[in-house]
Amino acid sequence: MAGGGSAIRGSRVGAGPMGEAERGDTAPRQRIVFFCANGHETATVFAVEAAIPEAWDCPRCGLPTSTDVNNPPPPPKIEPYKTHLAYVKERRSEQEAAEILDEALQKLRDRRARGEIIF
């Protein structure tokens, strides 16, 4: 089975060799190595005049990294999942919750006493 089409595959019209002369000079660069708590090394290239970030994410494990090989940042603490009730309990005391519940129940009883249909 013969394939049809262009004899030059993978190129576009007007494509040609792109060299330094056509693109211009590249900015001077520096190689910075970051280290994570799992012992992974991540080498990243930055422009010399660019500000180097204090932390970087490890592409292997996702932990935060730093440039200090002897003192990498610790893994972040993972908070357990909180239910809606747990968040409510953070905002309200037991006494406030009891008062709100009593108020809501009283409104419900008043509506039933008036004969309103409640769904």
Question: What are the per-10-residue average pLDDT scores of the chain (119 residues)?
Answer: 58 60 77 94 93 92 92 89 89 91 92 81
Q: Which residues are annotated as a binding site for Zn(2+)?
A: 36, 40, 58, 61
> Counting every residue, how long is the chain?
119
Predicted TM-score (pTM) of this structure = 0.51
Q: Which residues are annotated as a binding site?
A: 36, 40, 58, 61
* pLDDT score for 21: 61
Q: How far apart are CA 35 and CA 61, in angstroms?
A: 11
The conformation of residue 43, written as its DSSP 8-state character, comes to E
